[in-house]
Each structure stands twice: as structure tokens, then as C-alpha cells.
Structure 1
Amino acid sequence: LAGGIAHDFNNLLAMLVLNIDMALVHYRPSDDVTRYLNSAKNAAHSAKTLTQQLITFAHGEISIRQPTHLVALLRKTVPLALSGSNVRGEISAAPDLWPAEVDAGQIERVIGNLVLNARESMPAGGIVTVSAENVVLRADDEVAALPAGSYARLAVADRGSGIPPETLCKIFDPYFSTKRRGTQKGMGLGLTICHSILGQHGGTLTVDSRVGHGTTFHVYLPASRQPVAPAAPAALPVQPRAGRILIMDDEADLRNTVRVALAHVGYTVAAADDGQAALDLYEQARNAGQPFDVVLLDLTVRGGMGGLEAIKALLAINPKVNAIVMSGYAHEAILQDYARHGFRDALAKPFELEKLIATLDRVLGA
């Protein structure tokens, strides 16, 4: 049930985010309208976070991980979590901080939850200190039973009232909160979800607190020796694109939104509402000597052929087909293991226009 609700909600968010991105193209960064649109976009991302929390707590979540510079996540997430408050954030990091192989969205969620907790512990205002450093744990180090090895350690420290010892051992329990009833902004799942996410990443979350002095949460993530991929461009690409794209999605509004967005940047786009219709269009275009360069396939189609069945048929027609799987079910294992099924890449809904174009560029070898 939770997965189905999240799937539908993520489809709606995808339409919202893509339409905001297209609207932003028509305004300068200094325009008031740009500020309003960016505020709406931030709200959509917050809604995405809530959806993923529901999925994570309901039955876990499959991570889409890649080597990541953690400082970039801190610089993005900390200001958002503190916006509109009287609490200031201070970020410091080792210049040679090791990257970690993480699902960036999930780790942003962890950081955001911890910073929000720190913010709420200081209602009169104050400073949240966020730091990052490299640590090497030995076999005799006792850090939540983590194995010996290299870790990136993040610390989120507040100067609030602290947590009493009798309470400290319960803070990772579902629905437990140190806040008074009526002041809680969440459902008491924040720290439980943080602990779960970090455990799935091979790391952990620890806490130190002194009454009257404040609280510090430590995030441990296994360091990665793999190179970090270049960051996607921060702005919409200036150069127009060229190519023929086929999109298959059973949600008419989302299908049309993606079609218009891709046409806006120069692609020629055709659309189908299920896998069989996509196969028909693909074969027609191929027979006419105008084959599609990339096919975008929604994984789940109600009452019709979905992406998994469609990719098998497409591979039979053309073993070199460039296909991208899309899904509003962020916990789907196929988003992590897409290549094994014949896809060239994967997109979890909702996605921004920049993300969509960057994925197409990657598949097309631009």
C-alpha cells in the first residue's frame, strides 16, 4: 500500500518539478518569479523526502549508490534545513575528505533530519556546527560494531539543552521523541530512518549528549577509493539537443510533460501509453529508416505491458537498443541493477529536467 501511494505521488511530483524547470527557463535569476518558483521546487523536494521516508519505514529502500563528495551534500542540505530559522550553520571539512559510495538523496535526508533536530533543540537561536573528517577504525575500536577500515565521519553538533542519560538509549526507537507533544514536526521516525539508512550503507549513527551543553550526532560512512563522477551541470543546457526519443508511460499528464520538456530542448519525441504501443512505434520507425536513439520506459504500467517486458522485446528487435528505465517506486531493485536487465541507465521519479537531459547525454555518449 505504501509503495503504491508513493508511486502515484512521485508521478505527480515529477510533473510538478519538470513544469517548474520549464518555467524557470523564461526568467532571469534575479526576477522575483524565479525566487517563487525555486521556493516551490524546494517544497516539491521536501515532499519527495517525505515520500521516501514512508517507503523506507514501510519496507526498506534500494539505494542507487555512486562515489560522492560529501562536502557538496553538506553545502546543499544544511542551508535548506536551517532556512527561515534563527539558527546559523557552520560547515568545516578536511580538505582531503574521502568520498563515500552513497545514495545521495538518502544521505541528504539523513543530514537534513539531523540538522533539523539540532535546529529545533535551540528555539531561541544558536549555531549548528557540521564537520567532516577522515577516520581509520582499528579492530579494537568499539563504534557500533563497525568493522575496521577507513570511514568518512560527519558530526552535527548543537548547543541545546542536551538529552538526559535515561532518554539517550531510546532515541532511535520508532515514534520516540524528546519534544513535547504538539511541537513535533514529524512522526517520530526521523532518527529511526537515519539509523536504518546508514546501516544499509555499511555505516552507523552514534550520539553523545550532555545535559546543559548540547548534543552531537556522528555519521560514519565507509570511504570509497573509486573516482567521483563529474557533477551534472547546475543550469539548463544552452546548446540545443538533437535526436529521436520514444517515451512510454501510462500516466498521460506525465507522459505529455516529459514529451514537451524534451521537445523544448530540441529532441524529436514520440510517446506511447504502454509497452506494446512503444514496441509498435519502435518497429515502425526502424522500418522507415528513422530509428529512435533512446527509449524511456516506465517500469510499472497498470493493465498493460510494463518496462521489464518491453525491454526484453526491444532487445530481441535490436540488441543494441538504448533504453532507460523510469520508476516512481524508488525501492525497486531494478533501479540499482538496471544493466542486468538490458537497460543503459535508470531514472527514479521525480527527476529534474537537468537530470533527465544529463542521463540522455550519458546514454548517447555526448
Structure 2
Amino acid sequence: MVDDRALLLALLDAAVDAIIVSDRDGKILRLNKAAAALFGHSTEALTGQNVRVLMPGEMAARHDRFMRHHLETGEKRIIGIGRDVEGQRADGKVFPLHLSVGRADIEGEVAFVAILHDQTRRKAAEEAAARSQRMDAIGQMTGGIAHDFNNLLTVVIGNLELLEMSETAEKSRVLISDALEAAELGADLTSRLLVFARKSALQSDVIAMNDAVSQSLAMLKRTIGPHISVEASLADDLWAARADATQLQTAALNLALNAQDAMPGGGRIVLETRNVTLDDSYIAQEIGVGTGRYVRLSVSDTGEGMSSEVRSHAMEPFFTTKPTGQGTGLGLSMVYGFVKQSGGHLTIYSEPGQGTTVSLYFPALIDAMEYLNAAETDDDAQSQIGSGQLVLVVEDDPRVLRLSEARLLSFGFRCVTATSGDAAWDILKDRDDITLVFTDLVMPGKMSGHDLAKKIARHKPQVRLLMTSGFSEGVLRGGRIGAEFAILRKPYRQADLAKALQAVLDDR
């Protein structure tokens, strides 16, 4: 006969969503592994605690009053009705949840069962879709305005030129010349708006990306101030791509000049080219880009970086963080429009105080069958390199954490996870069975991924380490963050991860 208690425990731990059982006072009686992982605690640490520890301050303060009201009146505000709320992880990070609560009356005792589903991925997808729709709407509006304004400027410029030809008075000619110059500046402004709106005519051709970048580099070294070094890291085996070479050079210049503005005290700009393959796991995190092989141009700096709020608006026309009169806010929006019109994609990776990497992805000109055959070869090469070894995965983004854990499990590793450098070190201090730590570079809390890596090297040198980051390789290798450790650049494929893991393990 099946033991009911054992069956209940098995059902709890088999559930993908978090399940928490509490008494009438909010004391946690039982929880499953998914709940502990979701909130970044151990099951032992949470058992016996009040559910308030899993809530942000304002919600925690109201919780007891809500429960007391329900027990006294029987009124159901959440019970039996799903609701979107917020949870708080062990590292203090607040995240979106969908909460369903059920009540059970057993032998005069009241118990509550909460089922919680992490909404982080859905919210991120909604925000990305909304951002994409906003950019499209702004593009359509901007394109229409620019087109009409160009027609007006054509009339203005044409009539001014005719007037200039017939006018003999020197004073009038000077006024006409000034008006023509202003009108031509207006025409240049509208042409840049049309690039953002993807309505300008591009002279696309098969280009050698490295040659175009080298030409931009030569111009930049004459333009950028002496307090900033400009470097290049160009891949030798770069695939061919199709783009407008002039627009590409203009885009590189725009990005480099933006980078210069972010480093008033000096720093480094790195232009980097690489071949990359975007697979389904990357597509799940980005909107508007197809799977396949791309040529990537990254322009990176070691400057002030951007907040998440600034990043979300950075590609919109006329958005600028520069003082009034020092920028139009069209540089990055023009680059975005050019890349999109070329069939590519643009990403921004930035952290306040750490710098920024803007990456442009252009579809590589490679036969589709060659791409599929290469993908099959990559899959065949992914052997069980883990052999049951234990890996500590450290990542604050829950989507990336789940993906990283799934990838490592597929290699035959076992995994434990942490959502901050501080939490990871707490785990490492008490365990000697962890073979490798796979950590993001920039983490919340007092201890960044880089700080964690240095502490591991100093106190636990037997533990192997692999870091990952969205910053360009040139900045990481030559900069102040993570240069002394093995680093895997995001986005990466399963085969790239396998190769990096094998190299780190072999280094023992």
C-alpha cells in the first residue's frame, strides 16, 4: 500500500511551481524544492519562518491584517482567486509572481496552501514586445514627419537658391546663404530620421566587415581625444555579410563618439568583430531576430554605463542624457534603424560604473544547408563532459539561471544555484564537493561575480571557475574586470559552453 505522506512529499517535489503550506498565523509548515529555489533559500531555513520573509516590506506589513480579516469574516480576497503579486528573494531582489491560495480545514485547524508561479520571464517578454511595438510606432510616425518635412525643405532650399542667383546685394546674399545652410542642416536631420524609420535607400553590398571597421578606426584615432585609447580586436576568419559600407562606418563612428562622451575622465574604446550563431535559447530572450549565423560588430567602452531605465529608451529618437544643446539624441536611433533595415539586430549590454557594449548583428552570407550541417555537428560533439561533477551556478536573472542549469545538466553535471555573489560564497564556505563555479560577472549585492572569483582564487584555489558576461572580449581582457579569469561571452551556444567548460576542467 502506498504511503500517503510519502506520496504527498513526492508530489510536492515533482511540481514545477513553488508550493508553500502555512498555518493560520503564516508559519511555514512545508514547502517544496521549487519554492526554496525560487526565493533563494534552503528548505530548512524557510521551514518554521513566517511567510512574510518572502514578501516586500509593504506587502509583508499588510499580510497579517488580511489574514486576520479573512479568519474573522470569511471574506475571500485572494483565496481561491489567482492574483499577481511581488515576492522577495534572499538577496533582497523583488520579482513578479502569480499567487493562488487555497484553504484547508483539518480537525479544527486551518492551513493555507499557496502555489506561486514566477512571472519574471513573461513580464520581460511583455516589456520586450511593448518596446518593439513602441519603436515601430515611433518609426512610422517619425518617417511620416520626416518625409513631409523633406518636401517642405525642398521647396525652401530651391527657392533660396533661385533667390541667391538673382540677388545682387551683398547683405541679402549673406542672409540667403545663412538660410540655405540652416535648411541643409534641417535636411540632414530629416535624413537621419528616415534612417531610424528604415525608409532611407541603402546601398547594400557584400562587404568585408574588417576592412570597413579598419577604415572607421583610422578616422577615430584622428578624432577621439588623447585621453581615450581606441583599439580593435578583429576576427581573422570573419564571414561575409551584406550592408551599406558608408552607413556601417557612420554607425561605428556614432557609437564611438557616444562612448567618448561616457568617459569624460578617459578610458578605452574597443571595436570587435566576431562570427556568432544565435540559437533558440537566445531567441527566447530577444525579440525581432531570427536564428542563424551572424557577423557581430561590437563597440565597447569602459565608461559610466547605463541604468536599466536609460537602456530601455536609448534607441528612441531625441532621447539623450547629454546637457541641452550638446546632443540631438539621434545617433543611436540612426544606428538602430540602419541595422534593422539591413536585416540585423542591435543589443545593448551595460552596467552602471562598468561600461557599455553595443553589438550590431548582420546576417552572414552562408548557405542554409551548411548552417544546418554545422549545427548537427555541434550537437554530436557535445559529450557528457560533466561526469556527475557538481557545479555552482551564480546568476541573478532567473531566465538565464534556468537556462544555464538545464544546459549544465545536459552535459552530465549536477547543479546547485545562487542568485548573488554573497549567497554563492555562503554555499562555498560550507561545501567541499563543488568542482566548478559558473558565474555572471556583474551581480547584485556587495560581492560582484568578479569579487567572488577573486575570493575563490584566494581561499579555494582547487575550485575551477568560468565567468560569463555581455561585455565585449576586448574590454574584458584589457580592462579592469575579470581579465585574469576564463570568460564566456554572451550570447553563447551549447557548443561554446561545452568547449569553455572542457578547457577550464582540463586546466586542472
What TM-score, normalized by structure 1, do the two folds share? 0.47
> Would you tell me which structure has more helix in proportion to its own residues?
2
Q: Which has the higher contact order (CA 8 A, sep 6+)?
A: 1
Name the larger-Rg structure: 2
